[in-house]
Amino acid sequence: MLIEARRSRLLLVDLQARLFPAMTPSPPGLLSRILLLVRAATLLDIPIVVTRQYPQGLGPLLPELAAVLPDSVRQADKMAFSCCADDDLSPFFEDARDQVLIAGVETHVCVLQTAFDLLARGKSPYVLADACASRSVAHHAQALERLGHDGVRLATVESVVFEWLRGAEHPRFRELARAIRDLPEQGGAA
């Protein structure tokens, strides 16, 4: 049941300039956790894919995110809500890395549909509850409840990073433990 770096992929869903500011919980803590995920995945050689939903209307990626993405990151634009419905992303979901960690927006739409489609394809999706959001706290909470009830595993950014590291002897432990410690407080809602 543990998340393993060698089996993981990170999927960042629709973190876009016009969509992100409308999210709840507050974007500053949310963005910090997402940037930590990118940093950890990059340091640990975990592949990353980033999607943009209808970029003509919802804008480009958040500039803070675009600035830290490595060149190897696969980026894809989509119109369907589920990332699995996009032909450009199919190879991402067909290889041996079966643990897909999902962060992004909105929890009750694109994140939820993607997670269920991945589950149907035999993958092990993990929705990172504190790295996802919806415009409504109620929609976010209901989506997490439904995902967990219907077989999608839920996790948090901190637990994922420590599972990737496995122990304090990992060469990246100090650097990533410090980054976790420096995260802003999350407040009440995930």
pTM: 0.94
Catalytic residue numbers, as ranges = 14, 78, 110
Q: What is the pLDDT of residue 188?
A: 37
pLDDT in tens, 28-63: 789 999 999 999 999 999 999 999 999 999 999 999
Per-residue pLDDT, averaged over 74-89, amounts to: 89
pLDDT in tens, 83-101: 999 877 877 888 889 999 9
CATH fold, domain 5-181, is Rossmann fold (3.40.50)
Q: pLDDT band at residue 27, thresholds of 50, 70 and 90?
A: low
For the chain, what percent of residues have pLDDT higher than 70? 95
Q: What residues contact 175, with CB distance under 8 A and at least 6 apart?
A: 43
Q: Which two tokens stand for residue 104?
A: 């992004």
Q: Which two tokens stand for residue 2?
A: 């543990």
User: Mean pLDDT lowest for which of 87-91, 124-128, 134-138, 166-170?
Assistant: 87-91
